[in-house]
A = this chain, B = another copy of it.
Amino acid sequence: MQDGTFLSPGHPLETRLRGDVFCAACPTRQLLDRIADKWSTLILIVLGDGPMRFNALRHRIDGVSQKMLSQTLKALERDGLVSRSVAPTVPVSVTYAMTPLGRSLLAALQSMIDWAETHMDEVEAAQAAYDGRDRP
């Protein structure tokens, strides 16, 4: 976080940009940083399939800690991407679900997943080639 400069003046791309994702202070950038987050992506994809409880999410997303899950869910709820419903049972049941806003993002995220699954072999080949070049 530097000062409040939004766009370095004189940049050739300045006119091409609508919002501006490249300036650290711009809200668009903040939002991108959130949805481009490791856990956020996975959580949203999972919830895109249907509502789910906290521990179900925790079990579904391998490797996530309770703290990170709780933290990320709270952030996503604050951003209006995920809704949190508390059922007054004993003990309480908290269910997380996608909001319409969050659902509108799902397509883009799904594209990333699809790409990853589709081109993973090419990436692995590239990695092997890179590692075998001159780097033992």
Interface residues, chain A, CB within 8 Å of chain B?
1-2, 5, 8, 11-13, 16, 18-19, 21-25, 27-29, 31-33, 35-38, 41-42, 45-46, 49-50, 59-63, 77-81, 101, 104-105, 107-109, 111-117, 119-120, 122-127, 129-131
Candidates B22, B31, B62, B122; contact of A116 at CB < 8 Å: B31
Query: How far, in angstroms, from A8 to B23 measured CA to CA in the complex?
Result: 41
Shortest distance between the CB of A27 and any CB in chain B (Å): 6
Count identical subunits in the complex. Answer: 2
Query: How far, in angstroms, from A56 to B108 measured CA to CA in the complex?
Result: 28
Given A41-B36, A131-B78: A22 and B61 within 8 A (CB)?
A: yes
Query: How far, in angstroms, from A128 to B116 measured CA to CA in the complex?
Result: 34
Candidates B12, B28, B36, B116; contact of A117 at CB < 8 Å: B28
Given A80-B123, A80-B130, A101-B122: A117 and B46 within 8 A (CB)?
A: no
Query: How far, in angstroms, from A12 to B51 measured CA to CA in the complex?
Result: 12
Query: How far, in angstroms, from A11 to B58 measured CA to CA in the complex?
Result: 13
Contacts of A16 in B (CB 8 A): 49
Ranked 4 nearest A-B pairs via Cβ = A80-B126, A24-B63, A108-B111, A19-B117
Is the pair A13, B108 in contact by a Cβ cutoff of 8 Å? no
Is the pair A112, B119 in contact by a Cβ cutoff of 8 Å? no
Shortest distance between the CB of A124 and any CB in chain B (Å): 7
